[in-house]
Amino acid sequence: MKIKGMIAVGMVLWLFLGGFVFAPHDAVAANLVDNGDGTVTDPDTGLMWANKAKSNVSWGEAESYCQGYHGGGHSGWRMPTIDELVTINAKRWPLIDVGGSDFVWSSNLRNSEPSWLGGKQAAVYDYRDHKIMWMLQVWTHTGTISALPVRNAR
């Protein structure tokens, strides 16, 4: 009898905790507003995002793409910072499609480590594993990293 009771308690806890683990995607995604023009707005930050990333681009291509983007008929688009990419981590799904990759370029740069590599590294946000990585800016990383335009909506 004791084992059945423990199993029942375990199942209740799993269901209870599972609701908290899986609910945020739907609950938090409601915080993004679908503008109906290929963009979504985050009212918490005042940022407007393209609702679809461009896949398979180098850092330079990502920067050019973001700056030249005209989604929703708006101007002033740019490449997001790493902090901005982190803020939409849980909110983006299902309203923002990061493309064929879970990795998105940011505008954040630092000197390459180790220094003998030369050049700069750019921060990339990994939406699959929810972490920040640094990649050489000069490498193309074609097929692995996307560009996601953002602009200040306020």
Q: Tens of pLDDT along 14-54? A: 333 333 333 333 444 458 899 999 999 999 899 999 999 99
pTM of the model: 0.76
Domains of the chain: 31-152 (3.10.100)
Strand 103-111 relative to strand 145-146: parallel, antiparallel, unpaired? parallel
Residue reference for tokens 């940011």: 106
Partners of 98 in the β-ladder: none
Q: What is the dihedral of CA 97, 99, 102, 104, to 10 degrees?
A: -90
Residue 55 DSSP code: P
- Phi, psi (degrees; rounded to nearest 5) at 94: -100, 10
